[in-house]
Every structure is written in structure tokens, then in C-alpha cells.
Structure 1
Amino acid sequence: MKKIECVIMDWAGTAIDYGCFAPVSAFIESFNAIGITITAEEARRPMGLTKIDHVRALFQMERISEAFRKKFGRDYNEDDVHGRYAEFQRLLFATLREYTGPISGVIETIDILRSRDIKIGSTTGYTKEMMDVVVPAAAEKGYRVDNHVTSDGLPAGRPYPYMIYKNMCDLAVPSRFSVLKYGDTISDIKEGLNAGVWTVGVVLGSNEMGLTEEEVKALPADELKRRMMEVRNRMYAAGAHYVVDSIEELPALIDSINTRMANE
């Protein structure tokens, strides 16, 4: 019988770093360093890509490219991309360890999945060097995966499917129908769809929501509901098979997917 045997988690905004704040501030400050202001919304829009591709995506935004042209009297080039990426890395590494706290409910839910013999893989927009900081720091706080993959050494990162395929190889998962990709960005969803696996988005704690846990709790109920619906709609529009409010819904959702596959 076909069933879910592997869940592949994203990291920031999905498993750790509620609201995905570590990279956002570093992107904003890296552009501030050359006198170009970018908003948090702009910084979040390409989230989930490899970080060098994220910088390129920021430069490609019409408002930002025009601001650069106005300030420097020329179009940006790859040297500018690599310059902002280098500054981004400097800023990120200075604070990255501080943003490795597990999101509420993640550790307990992963324990439930493991008790069902489900393997836990992971993909990320971070590089290997960044994950060399994140993985042990998260483990100290109780969050561990069975496998973590970066795009280093692969043909490309998200939205391409290669990191998912590498997880499947590393964890000996033979069928894409047995894999569920779980993440908080549109890039996560595209990655899962391109790999042909079950693809689930999460709303609370996500980059798409872009709020701290305290900000979420402080929102009036109607406003919170509206914002959550906006995120849910964006994820479904991107092609997500399912969207959940939080990870606590995942075990029951997996039961539903297993039943669905058994009846097909």
C-alpha cells in the first residue's frame, strides 16, 4: 500500500525561526550599505531561493533596479550581485545562531511522525556553511532531522527538485508518492511540485505571514483571520496540495493522504 514514508521539512519559517527573520534583516541591511532601501515585503518575496539567487531576484525587481540606476548612473551587474551577497553573508553569520529556536509544536510533531517510522529530511535556501551553524544550534534546542541537504554540489536550488531527490537517495525512499514536502514559502511549494511529491504549505510562523509570534497573538481575531486567508490563498494559487495553519495538523493530514492513496 502506498503511504507517506518521508516528510521533507524546510528550515527557517517552517521548523525554526518563527516568521523567518534571520535572512530578512540581512538582506535589508546589505542593500542599505550601498544606500538602496528595500522593504521587508520585497526582501521576503523571493524567500526560499538560494541566497545568491535571492539577491539576483531583488536586483531584478523594477523598483530596486531603477533605484540602483538612479543612484549609480548605470545598470547593476554580477559584481554588484556578488557584492551584496558577500555583505548579506557577513550580516547573516553575525546573528544566524540566534535564529535557530524551534517553532512551537515542531519537536512534538516530529516525534509523532518518527513514532510512525516516517523519515525526516530537509531542504533549505541556506548554504552548507550556513547550515553548519544552524544544524548543531537547532539540535542543542531539541530539533533534529534525519538528513539535511543544501544546493551545494547540485545543479540548482529551489524551485528545482534536486534537493528533494537527494533526500530520497540519502534516505532510501524509492517512490515520490511516499514523500511529503512541507514548507512556508512559495519556493518550497514550487520545489515540491517540481519533484512530483505531496506538497503542503504552512501559514503560522511562515515567511509569507511575516510576523513574530507576539505580533500574531496581538492581532485582532478578524485581522488575523484575514491575513491567514491571504497566505493560504497565495499558497493554493502556487499549487499546494494542502495548506495547514500549523504543524500540529500534519499527522492527521498524513492519515488523510494515506487513505486517499489507498482508495485510488
Structure 2
Amino acid sequence: MITLAVFDMAGTTIDDGGAVYDALRIAVEETGASVSPADLQAWMGTEKRAAITALIELGGGDPTQPADKVDVAFERFRAILDELYTAQTPTPIAGVPEAIADLRASGVQVALTTGFSRDVAEGILDQLGWAVGADGGERAPGTAVDALVCGDEVAAGRPAPYMIHRAMERTGTLAVSEVLVAGDTAVDVQAGANAGAAVTIGVLSGKLDRAAFEGQPFTALLDSVADVSTHLASC
């Protein structure tokens, strides 16, 4: 029995129009490094400082010279993302608020995980009108989740399992056999597998198509998180 569903944010539960991709690419390119689409995709979903460091190296740069290069690029990433989100506010992916509400109504807790820092993630949820934890009851049905875990709150981001385990901690979930994980990137499903989750789902609501998920450790591949309840009912 699944008692906790852990969902990624951008591309999985939230449509940000590709702003994270663009902000990350621009911030790294401003350091003088080049960014290939394949490398960018490979590092999507990971903690953003780690992504910036890796992409600078992959693009022929040295992330340690000068010593504050990654810090400066990270602040530029945040500034660019804020500009993009101001120009085009993120929106929930169709059917996802209803799916979250249905899961919670059936007794399944829902947690969000993200490679964003906490302040960025909370800013996005505020824009959406979504609430976390005890505040959830004050918002309209479908806009509340039980926990939020961010990349800057654990020792390592995806594909490490730590954000999922922290979500279990915050929701009082004891057994990984009761956990479902869903995300739109390779590292999302890798993190689910590494965490030992009973169900790990790749969703096609982000940038990856079915072919891009080949060889990844998912237990199911769905069009959207909106399909999770139906999938669980059929298992």
C-alpha cells in the first residue's frame, strides 16, 4: 500500500515553460563555458550548485577559478529565473492539483522535492497559491501538499536518495515499501530507485520523451502525474 507520493516540481507538477533550462544555460554560458543540450538535460533535476559546477567543467571551464565562480553563477541563475518567472508565471500542469487532492483524500500524503533552494521553491509555490504542511488546510482543495524538501537541505541532491528519505522523515513515513516517486528527468527515477521506493514513475510532462527514459530504473512510464491515481488503482 502506498502512503506517500513524492513528486518533483518543475516539469512534473508545475509547468514553468522551460525557464529552469534557460536560466541554468544562460548562467553557465555567462562564465564562458559552453553548454550542450545533452549535458543540460543530464543535469536537470539535480541540486543547482552541483549542476552549475558540473556544466562549467563539461563546457571547458574551471569552476574553481575564480574561487567564487559557482556562487556568482548561482546568484545569476536565481536572478534570471526570477526574471523569467515574472515574465511568465509558472502554472500547475493540467490535472495535477486534482490528482494531489485525490491522493490526499484517499489517505496518501504528498511531498514535493526539487533541486531549487528553499527560498526559490517557496516563491514558486506562493505564486501558485499552493501551501505546505499545516497551512494546507487554509487553501482551496488541490493546492496543499504535506511536505517540501529542497536540494539545499540535504547532503546531496538527485540521484542521491536523500530528499526522498527526508520527505519520509517529514511525513512520518517509516517504510520505503509505502513510497511512490515520480519525476520528469532521469535523475528523478534514479533517486527513486536509489531510495528503494516501491513505485518509481517517469512522467512525460517535461522535456524527455519515452526514448530518453530507456534504460532508466522506472517501474512505470506515464504521461503525467495526473495519471498516478489511475495507475495505482490498476496495480
Question: Would you say same fold, with TM above 0.5?
Answer: yes
* Per-residue deviation, residues 54-91 of structure 1 (Å, max 9, x unmatched): 11121232xx11xx4xxxxxx44253333322221221
Matches within 5 A, 1:235-246: 237-246=215-224
User: What TM-score results when the alignment is normalised by the length of structure 1?
Assistant: 0.76
Contact persistence 1:96–1:133 (CA under 8 A): no
Q: Report what 2:75 is aligned to.
A: 86
TM-score (norm 2): 0.84
1:138 aligned to 106, 119, 128, which one? 128
**Contact 1:47 1:207 survives alignment (8 Å):** no
Instruction: Provide the residue aligned with 1:149 in structure 2.
Output: 149
What residue identity is the alignment partner of 1:190?
A: Q
Q: Which is higher, the Rg of structure 1 or of structure 2?
A: 1
Equivalent AA in structure 2 for residue 82 of structure 1:
D
Whole-Å Cα distance in 1 between the matches of residues 16 and 93 of structure 2?
6
SS in 1 for 2:13: coil
Structure number having the greater strand percentage: 2
Q: Which runs of structure 2 are paired with 1:1-264 in the superposition (5 Å)?
A: 3-17=1-15, 21-61=18-58, 64-65=59-60, 68=61, 75-77=62-64, 78-96=67-85, 98-139=88-129, 143-197=143-197, 198-203=199-204, 205-208=205-208, 228-233=209-214, 237-257=215-235
Matched length: 221
In the alignment, residue 252 of structure 1 is paired with which amino acid? T
Greater helix proportion:
1
CA contact (8 A) 1:107 1:143 kept: yes
Contact 2:116–2:152 (8 Å) recurs in 1: no
Q: Percentage identity across aligned positions?
A: 28
Structure ranking higher on relative contact order (CA contacts 8 Å, 6+ apart):
1
**Runs of 4+ with deviation above 6 angstroms:** none
Alignment check: 8 A CA contact 2:28 2:73 kept: yes
Point out where structure 2 has 5 or more consecutive residues left out of the alignment.
Answer: 131-139
Structure 1 residue 244: Cα displacement: 0.7
* Offset from partner CA, 1:158-211 (integer Å, 9 cap, x none): 1111111111111111211111011111111111111100211101x2132xxx
Residues 241-262 of structure 1, C-alpha deviations (whole Å, 9 max, x = no match): 11112223211221244xxxxx
Partner of 2:137: none
SS at match of 2:144: coil
Deviation sequence 1:97-140 (CA, Å, 0-9, x none): 54420011111212221221111111100001111211211226
Equivalent AA in structure 1 for residue 116 of structure 2: Y
